[in-house]
């Protein structure tokens, strides 16, 4: 499996605080059959002013530590990039990193407010040749009021990345509901851990794959953690990648959610 979103690099954001935690997270991921992790620290101007050079340096140091500890985990570079009006210019200038130097990048919306002209920015970046991957949409507090906006983005080629732990209840009932709904409706392109540590947000991807199989086929669950992530790292053109069910079967693709609606009474729409 390939984890495209993990805050593994020690001491440069709110992820792994030190070398020992980073190595323990890496061991945990390897035991979970993860072979590759994208190191994706936050880039949030004024809070986490990480640069490609700084991320690369931190990643090289961790690679050396992994080799010394005999931990067989491949690292590639990326970032969890907060939305800014000049993001297109910064991407083109190389001021923020894409995933493994590809056209794909992690696109992090504000957690508590739907940003103005969000769709316009996403489509503009897509028209410039990039593929935005919206991180943890199921955990956004505004998803209930703007779900149709996210559906429209997904149906028009903007990728959605759900956090594996959301599907197992690590973030509560709301994110679990929205994550399951998006899976059932065929809108999710990728699962990732968004790992930050060893306790509440560990880098465990396998549990998400198993949980996803309650809503999609085993083959689609494999695509979520292996097929599409590998295509991202290989910079494969999106029109050559296996599409989520909503784009091949029609929206909404799922049929299971209706039978489980009452357990989420008050959260659904």
List per-residue pLDDT tens for the chain, 269 residues long: 999 999 999 999 999 999 999 999 999 999 999 999 999 999 998 889 999 999 999 999 999 999 999 999 999 999 999 998 899 999 999 999 999 999 999 999 999 999 999 999 999 999 999 999 999 999 999 999 999 999 999 999 999 999 999 999 999 999 999 999 999 999 999 999 999 999 989 999 999 999 999 999 999 999 999 999 999 999 999 999 999 999 999 999 987 765 454 444 454 44
Would you say residue 252 lies in a domain? yes
Sign of the torsion angle spanned by Cα atoms 18, 43, 53, 6: positive
| Helix (H) or strand (E) segment spanning residue 5 | strand 2-6
pLDDT for residue 118: 94
In the block, which residue shows the tokens 């996803």? 212
pLDDT for residue 262: 41
- Which of 18, 11, 21 has its CA nearest to residue 197? 21
* Distance of alpha carbon 130 from alpha carbon 133, whole angstroms: 10
pLDDT for residue 95: 95
Would you say residue 69 lies in a domain? yes
In the block, which residue shows the tokens 């504000």? 110
Would you say residue 66 lies in a domain? yes
Would you say residue 211 lies in a domain? yes
Would you say residue 77 lies in a domain? yes
Would you say residue 60 lies in a domain? yes
What is this structure's pTM?
Answer: 0.94
Domain with residue 169: its CATH number is 3.20.20.140
In the block, which residue shows the tokens 């998400």? 208
Cα angle vertex 172, ends 265, 192, to 5°?
120
Would you say residue 269 lies in a domain? no
Residue 253, domain extent: 2-264
Count the domains in the chain.
1
State the first-to-last Cα distance of the chain, in angstroms, to the nearest integer: 33
Would you say residue 136 lies in a domain? yes
* Cβ neighbour number for residue 132 with a 10 Å cutoff: 26
| Residue 136 contacts residue 163 (beta carbons within 8 Å) | yes
């Amino acid at each position: 499996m390939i984890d495209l979103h993990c805050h593994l690099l020690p001491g440069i954001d709110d992820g792994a605080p030190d070398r020992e935690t980073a190595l323990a997270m890496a061991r945990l991921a390897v035991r979970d059959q993860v072979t590759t992790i994208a190191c994706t620290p936050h880039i949030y101007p004024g809070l986490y002013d990480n640069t490609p050079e700084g991320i690369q340096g931190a990643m090289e140091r961790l690679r050396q530590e992994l080799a010394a500890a005999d931990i067989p985990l491949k690292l590639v570079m990326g970032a969890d990039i907060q939305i800014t009006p000049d993001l297109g210019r910064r991407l083109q200038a190389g001021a923020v990193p894409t995933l493994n130097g590809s056209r794909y990048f992690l696109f992090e919306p504000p957690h508590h407010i739907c940003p103005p002209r969000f769709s316009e920015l996403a489509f503009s970046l897509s028209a410039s040749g990039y593929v935005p991957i919206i991180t943890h949409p199921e955990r956004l507090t505004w998803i209930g009021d703007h779900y149709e906006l996210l559906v429209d983005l997904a149906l028009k080629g903007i990728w959605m990345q759900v956090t594996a732990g959301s599907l197992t209840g690590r973030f509560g009932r709301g994110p679990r509901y929205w994550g399951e709904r998006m899976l059932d409706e065929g809108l999710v392109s990728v699962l990732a851990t968004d790992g930050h540590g060893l306790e509440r947000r560990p880098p465990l991807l396998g549990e998400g794959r198993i949980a996803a199989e309650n809503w999609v086929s085993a083959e689609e669950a494999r695509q979520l953690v292996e097929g599409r992530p590998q295509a991202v790292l290989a910079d494969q053109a999106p029109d050559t990648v296996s599409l989520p069910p909503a784009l091949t079967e029609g929206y909404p693709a799922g049929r299971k959610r209706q039978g489980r609606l009452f357990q989420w009474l008050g959260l659904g729409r």
